[in-house]
Amino acid sequence: KEIYMGDFKLTTVEEMEAATNRLLETGAKVGADAWQIRVKNQTPHCKFGEQGICCRICAMGPCRITPKAPRGICGCDAHGIVGRNYLKFTAGGAATHSDHGREICHTLYAADPNGAYKVKDPDKLIRIAKEWGVETEGKDIYDLAHEMAELALMEYGKPFGVQRWLKRAPEHTQKLWHDAEIEPRAIDREVATSLHMTHMGCSSKPEALVRQSLRAGLADGWGGSMCGTEFSDVLFGTPKPIDTEANLGVMNAENVNIVVHGHDPSLSEMVCEYADDPEMIAYAKSMGAKGITVSGVCCTSNEVAMRRGIPMAGNFLQQENVVLTGACEAIVVDVQCIFPALGPLSKCFHTKFITTSPIAQMPDSDYIRFDVGTAAEKAKQIVKTACENFKNRKPELVYIPDMKQKATVGYSLEALVKVLDGVTNSQVDVTGTTKPLLECVTSGVIRGAVAMVGCNNPKVRPDTAHIEMMKKLIANDIVVVASGCSAQAAAKAGLMDKAAKDLCGAGLKRVCELADIPPVLHMGSCVDISRMMILVAELAKDSGLKISQLPVVGCAPEWMSEKAVSIGNYVVATGIDTFLGVDPYVSGSSEMGEWLTNGVRDWVEAAYTVETDIDKLCDKMIERIEEKRTAIGI
Ligand code: MSK
C-alpha cells in the first residue's frame, strides 16, 4: 500500500500502528494503561446504550426498551427515548463549542495594546463591525474590540431575536430556517430549551426533538462556533498558508518538549509566545536541553499550527503517545477531548500533566489556573516548569518514532479565496470571490468538495477512514477541506504536503499546481467548521445556486464527541448532505432513523447517511456529488 512519488512517500496507517506498538511496549515496562487496553475491557459495549434505548432522565428507572418492555415506566417508547438522547447529545456539543466561543469573546473584551492579548487583525474586526452595523469611523480599535466583544456576548443571552451571523447565509437558506422554525435565538437559550425539552414529562415526539436538535446545532455553527472562529482571527490573526510538520517525529529528544492540547488558543498562543522568548530558551539550556519544542495535539494544535506553524504531534487517539515517548516534559491542556487517562499515565513517566481551566479539572494533574488577567505570568510559569522538568527524564524510556510529514496548513476562507484567484483566467475580475473555485467546479476540473471533519474513534481503525477516503476522493478530482482531528490525520499521512498533488486526478492536480496548494486543505479546528459554512454560503451566493445544489458534502467518518453531533446537525441544517461512519446511537428507533436520514430533507434540503463500511461511505459521497452535478446540468 506504500505510495512513493520521487522523494515523497505517504506514511501508512500500518507504519503509524507499528510506531504506536513500540510506544506501548515502553508503556508496558512502566505499568501504563492505554486506550487500546481499555477498549478491550469495555467490549462488548452495552447494546441498550448503543441503540440509544436506555433512559435515565428520571429516578423511576433506569428504563431499557426490550420487546417485552416496549415502554419505560412513564410510558415513553423507544422513539421518544432515542430522540431525547439525541437532543441531549446535541445540546452537550452546542454548549461546549459555544462556551469556547464565549471565552474567546471575553478574551477580546480584555484585549489591550499593552497587555497579553492584542488585536492582530484590525481589518477583520472592522469588517465584522460594519456587517453588524456598528459605527467604526474614528473609533480606537481597542474601543471597537470591546464594543464588539460585548455585542457578541449578548448573542448568548439576548431575550429577543435570532443570531446575527445568520444573515451571512443566502436568503433562501434563511427562509428555510425561518419556515422550519429552526432559526437559533440566543445561544444559551437553545441549549436550555433542549434540556427543558428532554426533561421528564416534556417532549417525546421525534419530530419535535429532531427540529430542536437542528436548532441547537445552528446555535453552535452559526452562533457560538462562528464567534469562536471570527474573534480568534481578530485576536490571533487570520490564518494564511504556512508550512509545518506533523506526527510524533516533530518532538525533539534534545529539547524540552511542551505539548499543548485542547481547543482554546488563548492558552496555547501564550505558551508558544513564551517558549520562543530568548530568556526561556536560555533557561531551557541551563537545564541541559538544547532548546524548547512546542507541538500540539487535537484542535489546540490546529489553532497554533495554522497561525504560527507550530508542528502537530498528533490527533485525538495519539494523545497518550506523546507521553509514552518519555520525552514530554509537560502536556498542557485547556478544554475538551482530553483523556483523564493522562493523569495516571504521566505519573508513570516524568511528564507534568498541567490542567489550566476550571472547566477541565482532572485528578493527578498540576492545576495552574489560567485566565486572561494573568495569562502572561501563568504561561511563563508553565514554560519554566517544563524546563525544570527536563532533568527528571529517564533516558532509558525515551523513544520518539522517527516519523513526520511536511504539511502546508492555514487555509482560512480569506486565504483560500486568495490562492484560488490564481487558477482561472478571470482572476483579474473576481478577486475576493469564490468564482475561480466555482469555475473549476462547473468546468469539471474539480468534481466537487468534501468537508472532512471530526475525531478518531476506536470503533474505526484510527485514521484509516480519514486517510483512505481522502486518497480516493482526491484521485476522483474531489477537493477535500479538513478540520479537527481529520485534518491532523491527513497531515500525518502526508496529504497536506503539496507533493501529494501527484495522488490526484488530472483536474485537481492541475489546480493544485496552479494555485500551489495541497489537495487536502487545512481549514482549522472543530469550531472552524463555521469557516466551511461561510465558504458554502459564498459559493451559493456567487453561483446563484442553493447550498443544497452545490456538489459539496460533509463527512465525519470516525467521529466520537457530542460536539460532532452538534456539528452534524448544523451542517445538515445548512443544506449539506452529511455522511457518518459511526452511528449516533439512534439505531434503536426506526422513526428517528427516518427523520435524520430522510425527513429533515423536507425542512433543510439535506439529510444524514450513516454507513459503517468506509468504502461504501466514500462511494456514496462520490455518487451524491455526481448526482448533484447532473441535477444542475454541469
Ligand atoms: S479535537 S472533537 S477529537 S475533532 Fe477538536 Fe478532535 Fe473531535 Fe476533539
In the 3-class helix/strand/coil scheme, how is 64-92 assigned residue by residue?
A: ECCCCCCECCCCCEHHHHHHHHHHHHHHH
| C-alpha of residue 95 to centroid of ligand 1, in Å | 15
Distance from C-alpha of 542 to C-alpha of 170, rounded to nearest angstrom: 10
Average pLDDT of the residues in 241-250:
98
Q: Phi/psi of residue 354, each to 5°?
A: -105, 110
Distance from C-alpha of 108 to C-alpha of 127, rounded to nearest angstrom: 16
pLDDT value of residue 433: 82
Question: pLDDT digits over 597-616, tens only?
Answer: 999 999 999 999 999 999 99
pLDDT value of residue 422: 63
- Reported confidence tier of residue 6, pLDDT bands at 50, 70, 90: low
Question: pLDDT digits over 527-544, tens only?
Answer: 999 999 999 999 999 999
Choice from 225, 232, 261, 298 to test ligand 1 binding pocket (greatest atom count within 8 A of CB): 298
- Is the torsion defined by CA of 282, 288, 290, 294 positive or negative? negative
pLDDT value of residue 341: 98
Task: Pick 427 or 241 by higher pLDDT.
Answer: 241
The residue length of the chain stands at 634
| C-alpha of residue 434 to centroid of ligand 1, in Å | 28
- Is the torsion defined by CA of 506, 511, 513, 518 positive or negative? negative
Residue nearest ligand 1's atom 7 by CA: 455
Distance from C-alpha of 394 to C-alpha of 412, rounded to nearest angstrom: 41
pLDDT value of residue 384: 98
Q: Phi/psi of residue 313, each to 5°?
A: -75, -30
Choice from 334, 336, 558 to test ligand 1 binding pocket (greatest atom count within 8 A of CB): 336
| C-alpha of residue 387 to centroid of ligand 1, in Å | 28
Q: What is the pTM of this model?
A: 0.96
pLDDT value of residue 467: 98
pLDDT value of residue 429: 40
The CA-CA-CA angle for residues 316, 500, 616, to 5°, reads 65
Q: Does the pLDDT value for residue 29 go beyond 50?
A: yes
pLDDT value of residue 4: 56
Q: Is 443 exposed, middle or buried (0-12, 13-18, 19+ CB in 10 A)?
A: exposed
pLDDT value of residue 424: 57
Q: Which atom of ligand 1 is nearest to the CA of 526?
A: 5
DSSP 514-545: HHT--SEEEEESSTTHHHHHHHHHHHHHHHT-
Choice from 35, 306, 316 to test ligand 1 binding pocket (greatest atom count within 8 A of CB): 316
Contacts of 116 (CB under 8 A, 6+ apart): 270, 372, 375, 376, 379
Residues with CB under 6 A from ligand 1: 263, 298-299, 316, 336-337, 454-455, 484-485, 525-526, 561, 563-564
Q: Which of 452, 484, 458, 453 is nearest to 320 (CA)?
A: 458
Distance from C-alpha of 534 to C-alpha of 532, rounded to nearest angstrom: 5
pLDDT value of residue 307: 97
| C-alpha of residue 266 to centroid of ligand 1, in Å | 17
Q: Which atom of ligand 1 is nearest to the CA of 483?
A: 4
- Reported confidence tier of residue 5, pLDDT bands at 50, 70, 90: low
Question: pLDDT digits over 562-581, tens only?
Answer: 999 999 999 999 999 999 99
AA identity, residue 463: D
Average pLDDT of the residues in 546-566:
98
Strands 63-64 and 54-55: antiparallel
Question: pLDDT digits over 504-533, tens only?
Answer: 999 999 999 999 999 999 999 999 999 999
Average pLDDT of the chain to the nearest whole number:
96
Q: Which of 478, 485, 602, 614 is nearest to 552 (CA)?
A: 478
Q: Does the pLDDT value for residue 630 go beyond 60?
A: yes
Question: pLDDT digits over 368-412, tens only?
Answer: 999 999 999 999 999 999 999 999 999 999 999 999 999 999 999
| C-alpha of residue 183 to centroid of ligand 1, in Å | 26
Report CA-CA distances (Å) from 2 to 11, 13, 323, 461.
8, 10, 28, 18
Q: Does the pLDDT value for residue 161 go beyond 60?
A: yes
The CA-CA-CA angle for residues 633, 473, 311, to 5°, reads 130
Q: Does the pLDDT value for residue 491 go beyond 60?
A: yes
Distance from C-alpha of 193 to C-alpha of 188, rounded to nearest angstrom: 8
Q: Does the pLDDT value for residue 428 go beyond 70?
A: no
Would you say 193 and 212 are in contact if contact means Cβ atoms under 8 Å apart?
yes
pLDDT value of residue 425: 47
- Reported confidence tier of residue 74, pLDDT bands at 50, 70, 90: very high
Would you say 248 and 401 are in contact if contact means Cβ atoms under 8 Å apart?
yes
Choice from 319, 485, 529 to test ligand 1 binding pocket (greatest atom count within 8 A of CB): 485
| C-alpha of residue 299 to centroid of ligand 1, in Å | 6
pLDDT value of residue 16: 98
AA identity, residue 626: E
Average pLDDT of the residues in 28-45:
97
Residue nearest ligand 1's atom 3 by CA: 455
269-303: b (≥16 Cβ within 10 Å) or e: bbbbbbbeeeebbebbbebebeebbbbbbbbbbbb
Distance from C-alpha of 526 to C-alpha of 546, rounded to nearest angstrom: 25
pLDDT value of residue 7: 77
Question: pLDDT digits over 79-136, tens only?
Answer: 999 999 999 999 999 999 999 999 999 999 999 999 999 999 999 999 999 999 999 9
Q: Which atom of ligand 1 is nearest to the CA of 561?
A: 2
pLDDT value of residue 426: 46
